[in-house]
Structure 1
Amino acid sequence: MSWHWQSHLRSGAGPVDTAELGLDQRFPTQGDAESWLGEVYPDLLQAGVEAVSLYEADRLVYGPMRLEPEVG
């Protein structure tokens, strides 16, 4: 099975090149997918990605998960 992220864009973010951001990647394990996200989430936020969902093939594992840190 392969794991991948689906992006959820911030309202009014404009067009986002998901391939350029690496969101078209497939990962062999859930851990690999989560490690990658941990490294690149600041870039995703800056590009207008508000949240992501993790899929194993076509099955939603979790999400949407907001990328911005909780305040409070």
Structure 2
Amino acid sequence: MKKTLAPLAAMAVLSSIGSASAASYSPGANDDEILIGMTVPLSGPASAYGIACAASQAFFTKVNQDGGINQPAAN
């Protein structure tokens, strides 16, 4: 009897956690927008990798100008 109740209890706990977290958002997200950030080296010996910041910012600016992520791509 104990062997069958443990998995059922675990499933009940996990399903309640999943449904509770689905309704709330983390900081930086809501029904209308999601804020995206990144950490890149802009100075020092690894600053050559900082170009990823400019490239990512340019990409997200283009996506937002086209209407966001739920819009068809402009041709």
TM-score normalized with structure 1 length: 0.24
Name the structure with the higher strand share: 1
Name the structure with the higher helix share: 2
TM-score normalized with structure 2 length: 0.23
